[in-house]
Chain A
Amino acid sequence: MSIQNTSKSVLRVGKNYIKGYTDVQKKVRDATSNEPWGPSGEQMNTLAQLSYNQNEFVEMMEIMDKRLNDKGKNWRHVFKTLTLLDYLLHAGSENCVIYFRDNLYVVKTLKEFQYVDEYGKDQGANVRQKAKDITNLLMDEQRLREERRSRASMRNRMNDGED
């Protein structure tokens, strides 16, 4: 971890404290931070499990909504929140599916997201592609249902193996 990243994470801890974010909100903010590595499988799995609790779910959506509507410079917030969202749609509670179907336009309108960084690299392309994939998934109810079912059965098989 570089010094710059260390100071960033220190800053995030401070912000979490000042703004009074809840534990689950801090977890979402960590998983979707500006650091140049993706949310870990473990982080996403934890959040997927927490989404089954109604209160935690509402608190999570509040942060995800903020992150998804963030500005171009913070394209990583947007991109990583879409990554987390994709995971939640597969392994999170049914509420995640319902919520994002209701608010489909929040994701759909990211299909033209733009950001070119200071080196001239088009970072918006990542967001645009992910927004497109998730929009298609949300609009294809049958496919989404099948993918959720196969994910659940895979999880059950793995849990059975541990017994």
Chain B
Amino acid sequence: LPTRPVDREKNETELNLNIKKATSTDETAPKQKHVRKCIVYTWDYHTSQSIWTGLRVQPILSDEVQTFKALILVHKVLQEGHAIVLREAQAQMGWFETCARTVGNDSMRGYAPLIRAYVSFILAKLRFHRHHKEFNGLFEYEEYISLKNIDNPDEGYETIMDLMNLQDQIEQFQKLVFAHFRNSANNECRISSLVPLVKESYGIYKFLTSMLRAMHRRTDAMDALEPLRGRYNTQHYSLRKFYYECANLKFLTSLINVPKLNHDPPNLFDSPDG
């Protein structure tokens, strides 16, 4: 039980209301106050079961905007909720696939391709977390993890490849979101899906930077790391462009600070303080 003063029964009732409001039919961003309540709930009770149940109870799948907002909500809870959410979500593959399947090709407001791409990204994320349990949902850097991997260079190498694959998936998805902006309409709902993507890509980027640096310090076989360096540099330029484009979206910059990367990728042979 949480050390905070809470009332479980009241929280369960409110949770359903929060899910309902976060996934309303309005073509806007899911309201952060409702998303936050869902995140806090998972920390209070160390479970996300009521959230998955709540999502099934709501008539979300009949409306493309609601489905898209539900995916944004879920993504944020996966990122910032208690670690148990990543484990419990593994049993929800069917629900995600239903989201992707239910939305028709003739979706009026053009969310169908975005929903399918979002689902495929989330499924890739869940597969990653299933194999690498030491990461949290936002890939926040913790020294011991990179140390753990330097002791086992093979595992480190593979982890980095897997992280880079996930980073490529973010890249594909964000490009699709930008490609689906509509001149005539208000793009708030679409833009709000970029918020968790900016955070997640930056977490992965920082992680890759410190892991690759640590590996360069430890190894004699610089040649063996060459393919990783090449791919890292390519991803640096793509991310820089992504953040630059995000920085021009006023609605987005009012929600989060968009990181600004230097023109050139950091030198992986430097020490972090250098």
Contact = CB atoms under 8 A, between A and B. Distances in A.
Contact of A109 (B3, B40, B255, B256): B40
B13 interface: no
A146 interface: no
A109 B2 contact: no
A106 B40 contact: yes
Chain B interface residue bracket vs A: 10 to 19
A113 B32 contact: yes
A interface, by DSSP: helix, strand, loop or mixed? helix
A112 B256 contact: yes
Contacts of B39: 105, 109
B36 interface: yes
A62 B3 CA distance: 10
Given A109-B80, A112-B32, A65 B255 contact: no
A65 B3 CA distance: 11
B80 A62 contact: no
Given A61-B5, A65-B5, A105 B32 contact: no
A112 B36 CA distance: 9
Contacts of A114: 32-33, 255
B43 interface: yes
B215 to A, nearest CB: 25
Contacts of B152: none
Nearest to B254: A122
Contacts of B43: 103, 105
Nearest to A113: B32
B263 interface: no
Interface string A58-81: 000110010001011000000000
A106 B4 contact: yes
B116 to A, nearest CB: 27
Contact of B3 (A72, A102, A113, A122): A102
Interface in B1-24: 2-5
Nearest to A110: B36
Interface string B167-197: 0000000000000000000000000000100
A102 B33 CA distance: 21
Contacts of A145: none
Interface in B79-108: 80, 82
A66 to B, nearest CB: 8
Interface of A: 61-62, 65, 69, 71-72, 99, 102-103, 105-106, 108-110, 112-114, 122
20 contacts: A61-B5, A65-B5, A71-B33, A72-B33, A102-B3, A103-B3, A105-B39, A105-B43, A105-B80, A105-B82, A106-B4, A108-B80, A109-B80, A112-B32, A112-B36, A112-B256, A113-B32, A114-B32, A114-B33, A114-B255
